Amino acid sequence: MSREQAATDAGEYGPDDGVLVLDGLTKQFGGLTAVDDLSFAVADGEILGLIGPNGAGKSTTFDCVMGTYPPTAGTVWYGGEDVTGEPVHEMVKRGMARTFQSFRPFRDRSVVRNVALALVPDRIASLSGLRGETRTRAAAICERVGLGDRLTQRPDELPHAGLLRLELGRALATDPDLLLVDEPFAGLSSREVEDVSALLSSFRDDGVTLVVVDHNMRGLLSLIDRAVVIQFGSKIATGPPDEIRRDARVREAYLGGGSA
């Protein structure tokens, strides 16, 4: 029996169940419950998929984990420590980063400067720093995410897939151990989904644990080791991709009874 299954059977999770652990996470906005008693654990080195349609509570879960919103109830453990409600900058210092579905680059700065700004405290960089080690490191990260030939371009000159790579580069610039990736496949072609999947997999090879949310089940199930499926903020299934494809509750909720 896996540690996750044992925790599920016991009805609770603890700080030693994974590198990131959510236990009974709940987030309410007035009378709306966006995340409802959600519990799961992420193993070190895993690529976990958080799956659900638009409005299922995936991004709100990320917001609660990163400290953008304080949870209404429940506990978040990271690296064995209770980090529930800690602010975003503290979570980044602890080694966690996230991307956003709505890209947020500095539109008046070049690609390499966008990445360089994420390398220094409070996203402030001097011109001298950009000419030296900071720019060298930023250029290496741009190369890592496939933007090595676009260093001097502005974000508005990038295609959609390029903006996604820039978003990933800015997240990598904080040197994360755990990366939360929000809807990376939205707006991508089938070939681009394959390319981005290969890039995300390569991050794991570098020692980064990933949690990826998307409503594109076909693309996500080809990438991840294991899925947590949520509906209306609650977990309805968890398991490896093959089990999720066969799960009747998942097919009914998201696939209309078809196959993944």
pLDDT digits (tens, 9 = 90+) for 179-194: 999 999 999 999 999 9
CA distance 170 to 19: 22
CB 234 within 8 A of CB 36: yes
The per-residue pLDDT for 126 is 55
CA distance 105 to 29: 28
Fold of 96-175: Helicase, Ruva Protein; domain 3 (1.10.8)
* Out of 68-72, 80-84, 218-222, least confident range: 218-222
* Domain limits, CATH 1.10.8, in the chain: 96-175
* Domain limits, CATH 3.40.50.300, in the chain: 1-93+178-187+208-260
The per-residue pLDDT for 42 is 98
Q: Which helix (H) or strand (E) holds 15?
A: none
CA distance 256 to 63: 29
**Does residue 91 have a pLDDT over 50?**
yes
The whole-model pTM stands at 0.89
Greater pLDDT, 203 or 132: 203
> Is domain 1-93+178-187+208-260 annotated with CATH 3.40.50.300?
yes
Greater pLDDT, 8 or 193: 193
Looking at every residue in the chain, the average pLDDT score rounds to 89
CA distance 222 to 218: 7
**Does residue 147 have a pLDDT over 50?**
yes
The per-residue pLDDT for 30 is 92
